[in-house]
Amino acid sequence: MLVVIDQAEELITRSGEREQQRFLELLGGALNEESPLWVVATVRSEFLSSAPERAGLADVIGDSLLVEPLSRTRLPEVIERPAQRAGLDFEAGLVERMVEETTGGDALPLLAYTLQELWEQVGSEGKVRLADYEAMGGVVGAVQHRADRLRRELTQRGQGPLILPTLLKLASVEGGEEPTRRRVWRSELSTNEQKVVDAFVDARLLTSGKSEAGGEQDAAFVEVAHEALLRQWEPLHDAIEEERSSL
């Protein structure tokens, strides 16, 4: 039996120490020599340190494999092949421009969001023009422009003051490290906060789903679609930095 534990760093960012240790004890106890269990865990490398509260996670992981960032020489393929399957074409020189601007730790999530937005604009069997790409701010600006536009729309509806306080609930910070996503149950949000959340979900900046929580079936939750939103949208990034100690 194969068990996959995705984003295992959330043992640290979203769980208490007692929960962490109990989970790791159960996992370690299940992985004896005669066990039919195989476990694959993905964890961001900065969380595999020697800090006491993290040592258990490093100890449980037996064979580790470092997944390096995608080579820039592969980016044209990453952009073009899915587009071809969707019937899309690119104006000459645009793919090279996108590759050039896909840099930094949040590069791939930002690129994914940008391509999705372009597909929504152009539709199937269309051609993506350089003007379309520049109008949305490029790879770096796509999320920022969409969030800025949404903020203006919500402010016009009188919901502006609620935006950043609501989104702060979806961020978690560990010491001086970059913010990570935090899942929030919809039941914890007020009616007006849920309206803000729904607007960001419609814009694909947040994602919503259902899970089990404390035995309660179909508990609805919300979280950021890409952690890039926490780091790349300046108003939210600044708010997180200001509230870092309380978060």
> Is the same domain home to 151 and 132?
no
Burial of 139 (0-12, 13-18, 19+ CB in 10 A): buried
In a domain? residue 12: yes
Q: CA-CA distances (angstroms) from residue 190 to 162, 185, 197?
A: 10, 11, 10
Long-range contacts of 48-57 (CB under 8 A, 24+ apart): 53/12, 53/17, 53/20, 54/12, 56/20, 56/21, 56/24, 57/8, 57/11, 57/12, 57/20, 57/24
> Is the same domain home to 130 and 172?
no
Q: How many domains does the chain have?
A: 3
Helix (H) or strand (E) holding 149: helix 138-156
> Is the same domain home to 152 and 228?
yes
Residue 148: per-residue pLDDT = 94
CA dist., res. 85 & res. 158, Å (int)? 42
Burial of 159 (0-12, 13-18, 19+ CB in 10 A): middle
> Is the same domain home to 174 and 206?
yes
In a domain? residue 227: yes
Letter for the amino acid at 182? R
The Cβ of residue 54 has, within 10 Å, a number of other Cβ atoms equal to 19
> Is the same domain home to 167 and 233?
yes
Give me the CATH number covering residue 188.
1.10.10
Answer yes or no: are the C-beta atoms of 92 and 212 closer than 8 Å: no
Q: Decide which of 60, 80, 101 is a domain's last residue.
A: 60
Q: Which residue has the tokens 């079936």?
A: 217
Residue 125: per-residue pLDDT = 64
> Is the same domain home to 118 and 174?
no
In a domain? residue 18: yes
> Is the same domain home to 186 and 205?
yes
Residue 202: per-residue pLDDT = 92
Residue 14: per-residue pLDDT = 75
Q: Which residue has the tokens 């899915």?
A: 82
Residue 235: per-residue pLDDT = 95
In a domain? residue 90: yes
Answer yes or no: are the C-beta atoms of 221 and 186 closer than 8 Å: yes
Beta bridge partners of 219: 211
Q: Decide which of 136, 153, 185 is a domain's last residue.
A: 136
What is the extent of the structural domain holding 9?
Answer: 2-60
Residues of the chain with pLDDT under 70: 48-58, 124-125, 212-218
> End-to-end alpha-carbon separation of the chain, Å?
38
Residue 247: per-residue pLDDT = 83
E strands of the chain, at which residues?
2-5, 38-41, 89-90, 127-128, 171-172, 180-181, 184-185, 206-213, 216-224
> Is the same domain home to 55 and 79?
no
